[in-house]
A and B are shown apart, each in its own frame.
Chain A
Amino acid sequence: MTDQPQETTESPKRQHRLHPLKKIEIIVRGEKEKFVQDLLEECGATGYTVHRDIAGRGAHGFHEGRLLFNDRAGLVMFFAVGDDEMIDCVMDGLTPLFEKSSGVMFVSNTQVVRLEKFLEEDEK
């Protein structure tokens, strides 16, 4: 996780402004999809993207689902963007999970144009 301070930047050519936020990417087994969904919602993520049935190699070997007859064996990947508070909350929930289940999360700085899409009502 990188922690460089970021400031709102304005594009010299355009009228729009870029706002700093954090992005979290989470990869878990299919059977934990519901847990991550609930966690993101509870932590105030205004939205997220899911990729199902992805493949990859990790400490526990290669994982690949065969979607046709098993929705649980594959890996799913979540993307979500939000402020520090939301990201911290998600990390707090995933840290204990990863003590027992396989999975990874990556947090990085990112920038968005439409800030209001990524913050809860009372934070705007």
Chain B
Amino acid sequence: MSIEISVLRGRIENAAEAVGPLWPLRTFNSANPLSGFETLPFDEAVQRAGHLFRGRGYPSPTTFRHAWERGAIQPNLLRDRLKKHDITSKPEETLATMEANDVPSTAAPSDQRLNRLMSKWLAAFFDHGQAAWPMPNRADGFFASWRILAPFDRDIPGIRQTSDLPSTKLDAFIEALDGVPESEWETIFTHHLAALPGWVGLIRWQERGTAKEWGKAKPITLGGYLAVRLTLARLLDEPLLPEDATANGRVHPDDASLPAIWLSAWEETYRQGLLDDLATSAHQPTKETGRPDAQLVFCIDVRSEIIRRHLEATGPYETHGYAGFFGIPMEHEAYAPEGEVGERVKACPPIVDPRHRIAERVAPNRSEEAERYNGWAGLNAARQKLVKTLKNDVAAAFGFVEGSGGLFGVAMALRTLLPHKIYDWIQSANERIPRPSSFTEVTVDRDESLDEEDALAVGLSDQVKVVYAEAAFRLMGWTETFAPIVVFTGHGSQTPNNPFKSSLDCGACAGNPGGPNARVLAAICNDSDVRDALRDRGIDIPDDTVFLAGEHNTTTDEVRLYVDEENPPVDADALARLRADLTKAREKAAAERVGTMDAQLLSDPSRETERRAADWSETRPEWGLAGNAAFIVGPRRLTNDLDLDGRSFLHSYDWRVDESGTALETILTGPLVVGEWINMQYYFSTVDNAVYGSGSKITHNVSGKVGVVQGNGGDLMTGLPLQSLYLDDDVPYHDPLRLFAVLHAPVERVGMILQRQDTLKRLFDHEWVALTVMDPQQDNTLLRYEPGGTWASVMSDDRTVPELLPEAEPTS
């Protein structure tokens, strides 16, 4: 049998659509685990995926019961919806039916042995510096390096030497697919790829070519994975397509209708409440506030809403929301002493490729601080290296434990019993040892001398600087009234011993803290040439406005400003006032958040957040983006009187200064799409934590520094841990609701954008995201997007009976 390799490649590519990419822990990115099914309506997608991954697609009856009992689902809404589906039973009866029908299948997949074997080899291949003795020959690729070692694996029957195995990947496919028609390949490949969505997702991430160094050192492709897996299936005498994979396990549509109805009633309850609040707020007269003392731009992240609300209540401050990478598609190179290379990380959203390298370099007159830092960093690196060597060396390990056990024991006891002290110690160390952000500057200017072959260009050209600055203000609809101090505030979390730290950092910065991006945009906006160019384009920033950068610690709610303390660029009193108010806002925000984690600890909420930031045994340093349910695009005046409970992404936008709709289009195709990824990750990780999440942190094991497995092996877990979503084993804190986008913009403009953006329109048509427009040209009337392209007016007195409006005219 002959196989065209390019046909094989095409079929594998199609089959791989079912499995979304998985980012390694270091840059854990939120992604919809069902992204490959977004071409289907939501209800159909969860059923198909449910069969393939054996995962639940809707909240469990227990979750619905908790929501029902606390009044999160309005009985009238639910009854109406049931009636529309000709279901006359009472809500409680339908809940009892769901509970009776909820018998989850616990049968293990028939090819479990194959899964375990593959996982073992993939873990060895993917190891990223955790193993003391790494797998050899990895540079030759997964299939080739496996082929050499496979004869030594006693779990693989019938192989005595390498030559017993197919010599190339193509040969492996020729042998495995002998007699199988091409029309069946995709089904077979899909099954084998979906059997281990964690490892396969990681291969997909690597295949995208974003990690060039990694790809060169350890090349692995889906073709290589399938070649090994199909060969193993043959050797283990397992069928190419197991019976449980081919059986029609799709849930009958009627079986899923009750959960779908309950979910939509729950969503509608939340959405109507939000729309009521927004409608009330929109009809309030606009308050004239004058020039604020300071304006702070936060990430659109739902966590920002809490600190923004409290800061605005503290004094004459205004806040805005913008994607937390501040529109700078960059790779960040951390500071490193001369002669060493700082760590380079992508610092922009998963759907954007970085285009510039921005490095931290010692600022003029700051070399003394840099020297002090280098000395400390050198000592620390040597200590870590020594400990690792002593632990891993067979001869030294025993003596090491004998000699240092006491010391480590004391450290462990301190960390466990007195995490507050550890926090204080870290703080005081930070005060003594300079941080790189205090003695470095970022290479914002284009610097060809730092360019390297096969790497991104360093710095930004003058023209590009203006583009990024203008984009920021245009997208936020902010073209006038600039305060004397404007702070771009990135965000990051603080949590020790947490493989999922990246999931708590900024999603728009590829799971990294957003401070470096904030520094770049602030530097650009302080550039007088950029300001001149902006003035020519109608954005007139007064000469006395100074842009600063800062970072919001989402675990403790502290906001740290990057300011040269000896020579502050703004009025010292104004800066001191801002800092004092940030501290006040922090205390209120921390109290609000601690109340949702453990109301008994409210005596000193800020201190409690500090403990969580330093406690190595804390499984829930913060809630992250749990609770997220809405994405509001509009001016802050629409929301600044509302308590949105930390559940809304807030993107600033002013329809009056975006006649072409370009800014709105950029927001909808960029930040909103990332918001949907995050929302779907939280949704699926909640509805089936074992399949789409990552289970309990207590039994996590980090594998190869790239991912986590449950227990001693198996597939990589793909989503969020239980403790990030659940109050306890059964009660979710996160309400698994699909994202609700509310846009304050003319409906015609939104219609035009949907005509142009097919992928975006599909998200709404297929009900992955719901959309409602508040049209300022129609007295802020609310119009709901109906799948297919029509708009229904949302009546304030009777929102459940929409009036259908004609479809918006296509314009292109």
Q: A: which residues have CB within 8 A of B?
A: 32, 34-35, 38-39, 42-43, 57, 60-66, 68-73, 89-90, 92-97, 99-101
Contact = CB atoms under 8 A, between A and B. Distances in A.
B584 interface: no
B455 interface: no
B4 interface: yes
A90 to B, nearest CB: 7
Contacts of A101: 14, 17
Interface in B176-235: 186, 207-209
Contacts of A60: 758
Interface residues of B, number: 37
A115 B6 CA distance: 24
A69 B10 contact: no
Given A61-B761, A64-B756, 9 more contacts: A34-B209, A39-B10, A63-B759, A66-B662, A69-B671, A93-B9, A96-B14, A97-B10, A101-B17
A77 B656 CA distance: 35
B601 interface: no
A108 B624 CA distance: 54
B7 interface: yes
A73 B759 contact: yes
Contacts of A38: 9
B10 A62 contact: no
Nearest to B185: A96
B670 A34 contact: no
A89 B4 contact: yes
B348 to A, nearest CB: 9
Given A62-B755, A62-B756, A70 B352 contact: yes
Contact of A93 (B10, B17, B471, B755): B10
Contacts of B667: 69
A96 B556 CA distance: 52
B758 A70 contact: no
A66 B812 contact: no
A27 to B, nearest CB: 14
30 contacts: A32-B13, A38-B9, A39-B6, A39-B10, A42-B6, A43-B6, A61-B755, A66-B662, A66-B670, A68-B327, A68-B666, A69-B323, A69-B351, A69-B666, A69-B670, A70-B669, A70-B673, A71-B351, A71-B353, A73-B673, A93-B6, A93-B7, A93-B9, A93-B10, A96-B10, A96-B14, A96-B186, A97-B10, A100-B14, A101-B14
A43 B207 CA distance: 18
A61 B753 CA distance: 12
B257 interface: no
B395 to A, nearest CB: 47
Nearest to A100: B14
Contacts of A71: 351-353
B5 interface: yes
B6 A35 contact: no
Contacts of A96: 7, 10-11, 13-14, 186
A69 B352 contact: yes
B707 interface: no
Nearest to B468: A68
A63 B758 CA distance: 6
The 6 closest A-B pairs by CB, nearest first: A69-B670, A93-B6, A96-B10, A61-B758, A92-B6, A93-B10
B253 to A, nearest CB: 23
Nearest to A61: B758
A107 to B, nearest CB: 14
B4 A69 contact: no
B721 interface: no
B10 A94 contact: yes
* Among A60, A61, A92, A97: residue with most chain B CB under 10 A: A61
Contacts of A70: 351-352, 669-670, 673
A34 B207 contact: yes
Given A66-B669, A71-B353, A73-B757, A35 B13 contact: yes
Contact of B14 (A65, A73, A99): A99
A34 B353 CA distance: 13
A39 B327 contact: no
A60 B758 CA distance: 7
A96 to B, nearest CB: 4
Contact of B471 (A39, A57, A62, A68): A68
A66 B669 CA distance: 7
B349 interface: yes
B665 interface: yes
A69 B322 CA distance: 12
Residue with the greatest number of chain B CB neighbours at <10 A, chosen from A57, A65, A69:
A69
B514 to A, nearest CB: 15
A92 B761 contact: no
Contacts of A97: 10, 13-14
Nearest to B754: A61
Interface in B352-410: 352-353
A35 B351 CA distance: 16
Interface in B1-41: 4-7, 9-11, 13-14, 17
Contacts of A63: 757-759
A88 to B, nearest CB: 9
Interface in B667-695: 667, 669-671, 673
Contact of B10 (A34, A68, A73, A92): A92
A73 B669 contact: yes
Given A34-B209, A69-B352, A71-B353, A42 B5 contact: yes
A56 to B, nearest CB: 11
Contacts of B665: 66
A95 B183 CA distance: 13
A23 B760 CA distance: 33
B6 A69 contact: no
A92 B182 CA distance: 12
Contacts of A92: 4, 6-7, 10
